[in-house]
Amino acid sequence: MAYVIPTEFVTKMIDAGEAKVFMSTRDTLIRAFMAGAILTLGAAFAVTITVNTGQPLAGAILFPVGFCLLYLMGFDLLTGVMTLVPLALIDKRPGVTLQGMLRNWGLVFTGNFAGAFTVAVLMAITFTFGFTQEPNAVGQAIGHIGEGRTVGYAAHGAAGMLTLFVRGVLCNWMVSTGVVGAMMSTSVSGKVLAMWMPVMLFFYMGFEHSVVNMYLFPSGIMLGGQFSIMDYLIWNEIPTVLGNLVGGFAFVGLALYATHSARATQRAASAKFAPAE
């Protein structure tokens, strides 16, 4: 379970961000599609466990299985690339531009949504026997989750919007810590352990993850949830994406870069040996 020190895994973070900017459209979309699908299958699994056992903690403990699998297979979530790719831009890696970063984010968002929506349709079919009967208990629970996390926030007005945004920030603070966790070890067991803990925390605490929500809300609408597509976009997805961006970039990527990157180390060394005035 070999540990990689911060100065080394921060370099790996920057390298990963740079590689994603130059990745082909085809590969980016495939990797994002699979990431969205696998993560949301994990979410469906966690909700099923919670409903069948009545124990939310049991669902939270087992939810990270999808997250761990998708990162071990080299797939990409929007929440991860919003943390890693900006570091390559800040580090002034050759050829990395703002346009390239936004292109990557757009492609990953599209792929994640396509993967999550595919799983939403497939799971809705299983919950309703091909839309021939009312949703089962798990399907009904997903519909209620969609209501609570859209019109539930809207009922509180500006305070609800602030709460939604903050939950998005806190979510990707933890999820991106999990992304970095995969770089902290050279063994599979070490990677899984480091990813598992923060992702379990975010799910149990009810924070807002933009890609998980790409499954929960379309699925909720198909399963009879009393909210609209506009409710989903305005009172969840858009503020959640913005909160995820702030949480992942500011509290994980930028914080680590500022103190552990090669540039930060060089600045510290220069300050240490600078002549006194």
Task: Report the greatest alpha carbon distance in the chain.
Answer: 81
Q: How many angstroms separate the Cα of 137 from the Cα of each of 7, 38, 131, 236?
A: 48, 22, 14, 24
**DSSP H helix total and E strand total for the chain:** 15, 0
The segments of the chain whose pLDDT lies below 50 read none
Q: What is the DSSP letter of 93?
A: -
For residue 263, what pLDDT is reported? Answer: 76
For residue 269, what pLDDT is reported? Answer: 57
pLDDT tens, position by position, 15-28: 999 999 999 999 99
pLDDT tens, position by position, 38-50: 999 999 999 999 9
Question: Is 29 in contact with 110 (CB distance < 8 Å)?
Answer: yes
In terms of pTM, does the model score above 0.75?
yes
For residue 262, what pLDDT is reported? Answer: 81
For residue 272, what pLDDT is reported? Answer: 57
Give Cβ neighbours of residue 21 (< 8 Å, ≥ 6 apart): 85, 88, 95, 96, 97, 100, 101, 103, 104
For residue 91, what pLDDT is reported? Answer: 97
